[in-house]
Amino acid sequence: MGKIKVTSCAIKGLYVIEPTVYPDARGYFMETYNYNDFKEAGLNMVFVQDNQSMSVKGVLRGLHFQKQYPQGKLVRVIKGTVFDVAVDLRSDSETYGKWFGVELSAENKKQFYISPGFAHGFLVLSDEAEFVYKCTDFYHPGDEGGVAWNDPDIGVEWPLQKDVELIISDKDQKWKGLKETFKF
């Protein structure tokens, strides 16, 4: 493999990606995406859109998904630290409803690839965080869905900080639990 290390997670379809960092007296250089390295690791996705957001400490975004146009996302943090989470929503998966979380930061330079079929969210742990991600499909207004960030059936263990008040959008406070959202 080249300059990017790809590690499969406990849930199929999730990968932690670590670029090789080349530091010197000026700073550092790294490749955050290399088609050939990803392809060699079995990741053949095509990205069509890049997004960036900034959030302050205590912001919890998610858990979001696209209903008809599911997106794969390659996410990373370029400033600050977040706890990033993916929840398996693939009804035929043996890990349906299970979650995986990883700390992403400007310092550790880890990335997280989340395949289509997962809900995604993150909690900002630093004073500010700038979050960037590549998507495998375009955002389609009106196609967004979500699952409650605190659904006990999923049981995400968010690293909540004692003296930090959560900041959650009105939209994200209204999402229902997994069982109410997906009735099979």
Residues acting as catalytic residues:
64, 133
Tokens of 184: 């099979």
180 contact partners, CB below 8 Å, separation of at least 6:
none
The amino acid occupying position 147 is V
In the numeric block, the tokens 């590690």 are attached to: 7
CA angle, corner 65, sides to 123 and 115, nearest 5? 90
What is the Cα–Cα distance from 184 to 166, expressed in whole angstroms?
32
List beta partners, residue 100.
Answer: 86
19 contact partners, CB below 8 Å, separation of at least 6:
3, 4, 5, 30, 31, 32, 109, 111
Q: Looking at the chain, how many residues does it have?
A: 184
